[in-house]
Structure formats: structure tokens, C-alpha cells
Amino acid sequence: MAERILMNEYKTLAKEPWMNIELNEEDIFKWTIGLIVLNPDSLYYGGYFKASMEFPKNYPYSPPEFRFLRPLYHPNIYEDGRLCISILHAPGEDEMSGELASERWSPAQRVESVLISILSLLDDAEVSSPANVDAGVMLRKEPEKYKSIVRSNVEASKSDIPEDFVMPTHQSTAAKPVEKDDSDFWAESDADDDVFGGSDSDEDLNVDDQDTGSEED
């Protein structure tokens, strides 16, 4: 069941210009993702933020694990690339953190909602309980220095752009990566589009906006 749900999600997300997904054809539970910020007003505009996403065997009942593969200086990103973000926390309320069940992972969530929340987090950092204390302090007290570091991160991230991938722009969001090869095992999932109610995308994404109200620790 989990494999079929993930394949359906992949087929939907592969059409989006704001991400590039590289599947491990031997293991559908391991994805490599390139996230792209399409908002030209964002400090992160123009970057290609490569990350790994690993899904549990009981997905979607438990959340995936997400980690940026290149250092990204941000109050809510640990040095190893993991994030401090509520949507990736196990289902149910947490009295210690004060997080409500509605803020955390639930089986109704999908990969798209996680990635949109992460993109929103980049420009809307939660500095009250940061994963990177130094970044949180710098953002508050030395914002120009913080921006300079982030800009250098963005430039460094461009070296991760695959040779066969055309970076989209705000003006030309129709740009797409090269056609994915969904042959062999993945082609067998074509008949499974009705799993969990068909497409896992609840609504169309406004790529000019990419805004959600994600909650962090």
C-alpha cells in the first residue's frame, strides 16, 4: 500500500516546476529532492536545495525523514541538515513542546504539504526556539550579515543542479526536468491512481506564492 501511495505522489509532483525528484529505482522509500524557490523576493531565490527524504514502511501513518544534503544557515535547520518543524513530528499532541495534534504529522498529510511547509519555513524562520542558536541570534541582531551568509549558501547550492535539469524561473515556470523513466516496476502503478482517493494533491499550488502556515518547534 505505501509503495502505491508514494508512486502516485511522485507522478503528481514530477510535473511541478519548483522541485526535481530523483527516485531510487531500487527503493521507492528513498527520494533525492531538489527544492527551488520561485519567489524572486525570497532570500533563497535561485538556489537548488538538495535534500534526502526517507519514508517509513507504514507511510502515511508515520512521517518521512527530511534532511538537507548541503549546509544551510538557518535558525530552524540543524548543522546536519535536519529540520525543526512540527509537520515532521509523529502524530498526536506533545505536552512537552506544546504542539497540537493539528500542527504535527497526520495520515492526511502528503509529500507536497511537507515540502511547501519547508519552503515557507526558509523565509519565515521561528527564532524563539531555534535549532541553530547562532543563526537565530544573527538573524535578529545582524540581519545583513545573516543575509550575506544565506546568499553564499544559495550560490553554493547551484553546484548541485543536475546537468540534465533546466532551472525554472519566476517568469518561466513552465520549465520542467527531462522526462522521467517510469518503466518496469513503476509503470505497474498506473492502475493504482485510485489509492487513497486518487491524486494525493488536495489543491493546485500557486508557485508564485509558495506560502503556508507551517508551525515549528
DSSP 99-134: B-GGGS--TT--HHHHHHHHHHHHHS---SS-SSHH
**Catalytic residue status for 11:** no
Three-state DSSP class for residue 59: coil
Starting from the edge strand earliest in sequence, which strands make up the sheet with 19-24, in order? 19-24, 27-36, 48-54, 65-68
As given in the structure block, the three cell numbers for residue 192 are 493504482
Neighbours of 11 (CB within 10 A): 18
CA-nearest of 22, 79, 20 to 49 is 20
Catalytic annotation, pick one of 36, 84, 135, 138: 84
Strand 27-36, strand 48-54: pairing: antiparallel
| Residue carrying C-alpha cell 509532483 | 13
Q: How far apart are CA 217 and CA 205, in angstroms?
A: 25
Q: Which residues are known catalytic residues?
A: 84
